[in-house]
Amino acid sequence: MTRSLGSPLPVSCLVRTMGWLGLTLIGGSLHPFVGTALAQGLAAPVPRPAVGTDVPRSGPGASPTDVGRGLTPEEHTNIAVYDAVNRSVVNINTKATVSAGFFLVEVPSEGAGSGIVVDKLGHVLTNYHVVEGAKEIQVMLYDGSSHAATIVGHDPATDVAVIRVAAPVEVLEPVHFGSSSDLRVGQRVFAIGNPFGLERTLTTGIISSLNRSLPARNGRTIKAIIQTDAAINPGNSGGPLLDSSSRLIGMNTAIASRTGQSSGVGFAIPVGTLARIVPQLIERGKVTRADAGIARVYQTDHGLLVASLVPDGPAERAGMRGFKVVRERRRQGPFMAETERVDRSGADLIVAVAGVAVKNADDFLSQVETRNSGDEVLITVEREGHRLDLPVVLAAER
């Protein structure tokens, strides 16, 4: 069974329907980057002609045919961004097997998406849903050469993955990383990807909104998502979202559409999120998040009611209280019967973390997981009518 490039993956592959909009993954994608090599890439300036000067159509030098064309400043910017980054974008094709039919016979399945070269070591950034379950991954570079790749690490909670391609160093052109902390609504952005299998296609638009949220398949929420009206279609997943200085500010991951094609509402994972998790994926193959040692909570209108704690975990050591199991012995005729009941009256109600109010588990995890193991954080609880600040030293997630 072949998955058509023109048909986006079903919503159930990664995300739930968001309101009346069909939120659809847009193909396959890759991501993460490496320590020293990455840091050097981040620090290196992007060679880019000033707006208003003639810009090379491709390659290192300006083409004589560009001189005197009378291009507008906007066109010069478009060309400069494409020339600076298009060689950093790859086409990813995957092969997998899926169970189909009454007898659940395994049949071949194919997928495609985009990826971003992040260093000379061959690490490529993409979406996890692009390479999930892949038995074979082929990466095609700007020069048309195709190379096998393997998955280095992945993080389903953020839909990020890193693969490594076995390609010569001279054909690997790393992207330059920017910042997503100072983005503005209305700012011009550029998307490069492989929509419908058409290699390294450029589309332009603006940032339509910031700090959107997307539901992930594991019930968590991906925060700080960038919304853009740049045309994004099936096959764009894992491709870069760029600013006018040709720097990476996000990775395209999904569209809101009833038809599965661009409706002017696209979403990208911000580079700030990528920067936090990619080094871990390259080093350990997974993301190790900080943990407060709270096993179970109940959401209420006023906060999170602590049900149970990890034995000898950070929260328990800090003095936090959960439900208590009370054992009682009662005489029933000539026999003594032992019963158990749950006492919720002494459980703590979590209302804030580091001074930030929390209303649900996602709010709580967002505050905790942005920190590192060993960090101390104040968790504010209500207990018997009083507010307490409990200093909790976070541990590594088990």
**Tell me, which fold does domain 291-396 have in CATH?**
Pdz3 Domain (2.30.42)
**Higher-scoring residue by pLDDT: 100, 6:** 100
Which pTM value belongs to this model? 0.67
CATH tag, 1-287: 2.40.10.120
pLDDT per position as a tens digit, 3-28: 333 333 333 333 333 333 455 555 54
Q: State the number of CA atoms in the 13 A half-sphere of 333 facing the CB.
A: 0
Q: What is the pLDDT of residue 99?
A: 55
Q: Do 1-287 and 291-396 share a fold?
A: no
Round to whole Å and give the CA distance between 199 and 197. Answer: 6
Best CA proximity match to 150, nearest among 190, 186, 121, 187: 121
| C-beta separation of 163 from 153 below 8 A | no
pLDDT of residue 25: 57
Show which residues are catalytic: 129, 159, 237
Question: Among the listed ranges 123-137, 232-246, 255-269, which one has the minimum average pLDDT value?
Answer: 255-269
Radius of gyration of the chain measured on its C-alpha atoms: 25
Closest to 233 in 3D by CA, of 269, 205, 203: 203
Per-residue model confidence (pLDDT) at position 287? 87
Segments making up each domain of the chain, as ranges:
1-287, 291-396
Provide the 3-class DSSP secondary structure of residue 43.
Answer: helix
